[in-house]
Structure 1
Amino acid sequence: MMDIPIGVANSISANFQFDPLDTIEFATQSNFPIIQIYLNAQLLRQNGVLDRIKASEAQFDQVYYHAEGFLNQEFYESEYRQWLYKFVDQTRRPNFITHFDEQAPIDGLIRLAEQLARSS
């Protein structure tokens, strides 16, 4: 049987207010090769924590970053997006995952996704 890598997300640390450092510690101790870190606006203002997250990246095959909110015009124009890009730009493999806003017209979401792809 093929060895399929499995990862954990911040939700593993729900009892600790989704603490990314607790998630990293758990994933490291449990030998998970992949991790997903949720980056809310409050976390993006905590430079010390962000530095520790970046320093831990080498312990994992892949680190995925999960954006707060939804992909919509508000996200595209937000100060949050600027903070998010500033952080992920400094990571080993810049990336982020986001959810499409199911309430927004799909054509507009596709245009936003294309704009984000061009600007990254």
Structure 2
Amino acid sequence: MELQDNLPIRLLSVPLEDAPAYEALSYAWGDATHTARIRCGQGTLDIRPNVEDTLRALIFASETRILWIDGLFINQSNDEEKSKQVQMMGLIYWHAERVIIWLGMDDDCTTPAGNVFQLIESTYNQE
């Protein structure tokens, strides 16, 4: 597995009730059989390529963000942990300062979906 370019990320583990303001990421999981290896601090992480795409799209050099991403924070190979964490996801999204929905890199399918979300947002903001 090839090591991808360094992404400026670090992992933070805190109880939900003590969490600083964060954004929660909801995304299409994609293919679980392929992973990308990225640097994280002094170590490496194996992540799904769509998580890597998401991080590359959301990370801006001038902005520090705290993101909750299930693909990073839930051990996907441990069914017991996944079950417990999935039960908490409602609370995780509820407590988030903002929820980001990631449909993938721009293509013929994501652009119309993005337009629908913008319409929903503008309608919601008018009320």
**TM-score, normalising length from structure 1?**
0.30
**TM-score, normalising length from structure 2?**
0.29
More helix by share: 1
